[in-house]
Structure 1
Amino acid sequence: MAFVSLDEDGERDFVFSRGADRELVYDSSLKTYFEHNIVHFGAATALLGGTLEEAYSRYLFDGLTKNAFISF
């Protein structure tokens, strides 16, 4: 969940409440499902580091090498 607010100058401020996404780890066995399918990435917190960012990077690579349609 992301909370967004605007300061007096109109600048955005983001605060993320992280949950289960923090626990996602890469599972190489999933890449067998990617061939010619759609792989969708949708967590706003995906690029905040940790195991989620690593898993996203690896799943993206797997999707690309399996000719998947990649969606963000």
Structure 2
Amino acid sequence: MDLTNLSYEEGLKELESIIDSLETGELTLEESFNKFKKGVDLYKYLYEILNKVEGEIKIIMEDEEREEDFQLEG
């Protein structure tokens, strides 16, 4: 599965689909295991996206705070 072109929303939808299929109990052991591995990969990918966005938000907020401090001093 190529995750590089997958948006966060698409990945989340796919992960929800995997969870739903695992919860039905209708898959074979091998199918369940393969879905589980795919789900773990998706989870890691989505987690990386969230961490990246969180880091960018922190940078923006720090820049805003510095700019406000500068304006107050100036």
Normalised TM-score (structure 2): 0.38
Q: Larger % of helix: which?
A: 2
Normalised TM-score (structure 1): 0.39
